[in-house]
Amino acid sequence: MLIVTAKMPKRRLTLGVGLAALLCCCAIALNFGQVREVSASALPSPKGVRSNEDRIDYLSAYGWQVAEEPIATQELLIPEEMDDSYTEYLALQSSQGFDLHKYAGKRVKRYTYEVLNYPTGESGVQANLLICKNTVVGGEVLSPQLDGFLHGLAMP
């Protein structure tokens, strides 16, 4: 057995440990930056959503498997002035990067699809897409049950 010992001044040891800690922090920060870049670029483009196939592809980019045809298609008018009853809904859309204020007073189509792969296995879950001139301007996933839920398009 061979034992090697070395004598090192405290100042050099402290500097070496500090430098190693700084390098670890930099590596972690760069790794988080890469993860954010990938996830941001993985989001589907809301533009150019023209057909039923495009809408299904858009939802599948978020991980949703939906029925081939929409359950419902409705034309809606986004109010020019939105009162307090819209606050939570606008916040939900804003958190996904959608700004419904831009579309105030305009007509949009809402396409409702049945979600086939909700993580809890719950049936009857629906996904809505709001589309104005071939651009997705909003969307959500919801359970229409009495004790249901409403959240953004991202898979929970």
Retrieve residue 120's tokens.
């809890």
- Does one domain contain both 111 and 36? no
- Does one domain contain both 100 and 25? no
Residue 27 pLDDT? 44
Count the alpha carbons within 13 Å of 128 in the hemisphere toward its beta carbon: 22
In a domain, 47, yes or no: no
Write out pLDDT tens, residues 107-138: 999 999 999 999 999 999 999 999 999 999 99
In a domain, 3, yes or no: no
Retrieve residue 5's tokens.
């010992």
- Does one domain contain both 58 and 36? no
In a domain, 91, yes or no: yes
- How many structural domains does the chain have? 2
pLDDT at 95 over 60: yes
Residue 99 pLDDT? 94
- Give the dihedral sign, CA 75/81/84/87: positive
Domain that includes residue 30, residue range: 9-42
Write out pLDDT tens, residues 12-67: 545 444 444 444 444 444 444 433 333 444 678 888 888 999 999 999 999 999 99
- Does one domain contain both 36 and 98? no
Retrieve residue 45's tokens.
């483009």
- How far, CA to CA in Å, does 35 sit from each of 28, 38, 140, 153? 11, 5, 24, 20
